[in-house]
Amino acid sequence: MSSWNPKSSSPIPNNHAVNHSTLSIYQTQSKRQVRLDDITVADYTIGWIAALPLEQKAAELVFNHDYRILTQVPPGDTNRYTLGVIGDHKIVLAVMPDGQYGKSSASSVATHMLRTFTNVRVGFMVGVGGGAPSKTNDIRLGDIVVSRKGDGKGGVFEFDYFKKHQAKPNQNTSHLNSTPSFVMSTIAGLKADHIGQQDAINEEIEDILTHPRIPQELRRDFERPSEEDDMLFRSNVVHNVGRALNLQSVLGANISLLAVIMLAVSCVVVVPPLVTMLASLCLAFGAGTFVNGINIEGCEHIFHRSTRADEELPSDEICQRFCRVSWPNALVPRQARNPSRAPKIHYGLIGSSDQLMKDAVLRDELATDHNILCFEMEAAGLMDKFPCLVIRGICDYSDSHKNKGWQNYAALAAALYTRAVIRSLPVQQISKERRLADIMGRG
């Protein structure tokens, strides 16, 4: 392996001219490997970090031209890089190691990126996050949240709490923000045309997924799920099957003894024709969920006992079936969205912690107290090492109800919004910005 020696800056070649046509992107897009010695490192002025492989794939889908996989990096750099182009800008994309999430891992990826790609001047953290819907913020699955400071606060709110479920947040909280002012000015311009941006993202998603060069499997992975799968459960309804059945909570004033006996029998013998009735009965009583803080188990047991071995379903689909059926009061009533189904774009504070937010009560508390729009796990680890704009596609509601079905679509929506931002950034302005490595004291 030859030694690492970054080349001097050079202009983007003619074959990387601006191309705003989504269809032409996919007519020419391909993946090939390249060594570090074969590229001009100084050309890459925008850094993009993703936490998940699916977020990496979404980013690669929105690159304008051929993207390349970097196969040679300096000693000690453990990152995996994808090199791409958006508009007149060259992008270096890094994805966090598989299974390693949170602030520490994000910080490590950023550190390696700035050591290898020393001319990066603008950063983005793009991927999925959990929404924090409220009376003032109608956030839905598939929507986009962009970090933006306001009320004297930074765009990212760092917090920590002691336990994942039903715990109080640590008082050691802080607001972080280091996004360059000219990037925020670009965001302001896009926000002014928010309806146009939403429609454009919706159209570009359709163009990507319907293009004949996109494999059918990839198309299925990233298509928009059904609106029926966008369910916001009330905060006191918690999916958790780890504790015992509380019969006292089931025996309300209007619950018949026969119903309780049927529920108990279901734990021993399940007659297939009765499965649907028993499942409805369980859910009418709250089985498999917390109701007003009380956990009542049973429905998931029935489902597993009544399903053939070769029909095993993922846990999120089990949750979807049993936390919604025959219990409409568990859902928060919401008006239907515009039939265009264009994802809405929200601007505001993003909550970041080392632990995954799966507590709707704490979610609501933090959203009310700090006007947080969504939660994620990496941004706080980047703001002191990799000043960046954080963009999240909403894939769940930061509660205990699993819903991985929206992850791919949400990641693609966030990536497309990021592409719109990058296209709007003036090349001349980026060249005037300080290198992030210098800002962080590594240059």
Specify whether 222 is located in the same domain as 308: no
The mean pLDDT of the chain is: 75
SS3 216: helix
Grade residue 228 by pLDDT with cuts at 50, 70 and 90: confident
Q: Domain of residue 150: give its range.
A: 14-230+339-439
Classify residue 46: in a domain, yes or no: yes
Specify whether 216 is located in the same domain as 302: no
Specify whether 161 is located in the same domain as 181: yes
Classify residue 425: in a domain, yes or no: yes
* Tens-place pLDDT, residues 165-188: 444 444 445 666 567 888 988 898
- Give backbone dihedrals phi and psi of 246, rounded to 5 degrees, phi first: -100, 95
Specify whether 310 is located in the same domain as 383: no
Classify residue 9: in a domain, yes or no: no
- The last residue of one of the domains, among 294, 311, 330, is 330
**CATH number, domain with residue 98:** 3.40.50.1580
Specify whether 121 is located in the same domain as 198: yes
Greater confidence (383 vs 209) lies with: 209
Greater confidence (108 vs 285) lies with: 108
Classify residue 30: in a domain, yes or no: yes
- C-alpha 359/C-alpha 352 separation (Å) is 14
Classify residue 3: in a domain, yes or no: no
Q: Could you tell me the CA-to-CA distances from 296 to 72, 165, 269, 286, 323 in Å, in that order?
A: 54, 16, 19, 6, 12
Domain count, the chain: 2
- The last residue of one of the domains, among 330, 350, 379, is 330
- Which pair of structure tokens corresponds to residue 409? 């679509």
State yes or no: pLDDT of 250 exceeds 50: no
Query: What's the count of helices (H) and strands (E) in the chain, helices before strands?
Result: 15, 15
- Give backbone dihedrals phi and psi of 176, rounded to 5 degrees, phi first: -125, 140
Of 25-29, 359-363, 382-386, the poorest mean pLDDT is in 25-29
Greater confidence (15 vs 340) lies with: 340
- C-alpha 402/C-alpha 387 separation (Å) is 31
pTM: 0.77
CB 223 within 8 A of CB 409: yes
- C-alpha 415/C-alpha 62 separation (Å) is 7
Specify whether 348 is located in the same domain as 205: yes
- C-alpha 255/C-alpha 257 separation (Å) is 7
Specify whether 114 is located in the same domain as 158: yes
Residue where the block lists tokens 């709250």: 286
State yes or no: pLDDT of 92 exceeds 70: yes
pLDDT above 90 as % of the chain? 35
Find, among 192, 146, 195, 147, the residue nearest to 342 by Cα.
195
State yes or no: pLDDT of 164 exceeds 60: no
Classify residue 385: in a domain, yes or no: yes
* Terminal-residue alpha carbon distance, the chain: 25
Specify whether 211 is located in the same domain as 289: no
Specify whether 123 is located in the same domain as 171: yes
Specify whether 343 is located in the same domain as 289: no
* Tens-place pLDDT, residues 282-326: 444 444 443 333 333 434 433 333 333 334 445 556 565 666 554
Classify residue 1: in a domain, yes or no: no
**H or E, element range at 144:** strand 144-147
Specify whether 103 is located in the same domain as 188: yes
pLDDT above 70 as % of the chain? 66
Specify whether 242 is located in the same domain as 226: no
- The last residue of one of the domains, among 274, 296, 330, is 330
CB 39 within 8 A of CB 119: no
State yes or no: pLDDT of 337 exceeds 60: yes
- Which pair of structure tokens corresponds to residue 216? 């059918």
* Tens-place pLDDT, residues 55-83: 999 999 999 867 899 988 899 999 999 99
Classify residue 8: in a domain, yes or no: no
Grade residue 327 by pLDDT with cuts at 50, 70 and 90: low
- Which pair of structure tokens corresponds to residue 35? 């060594």
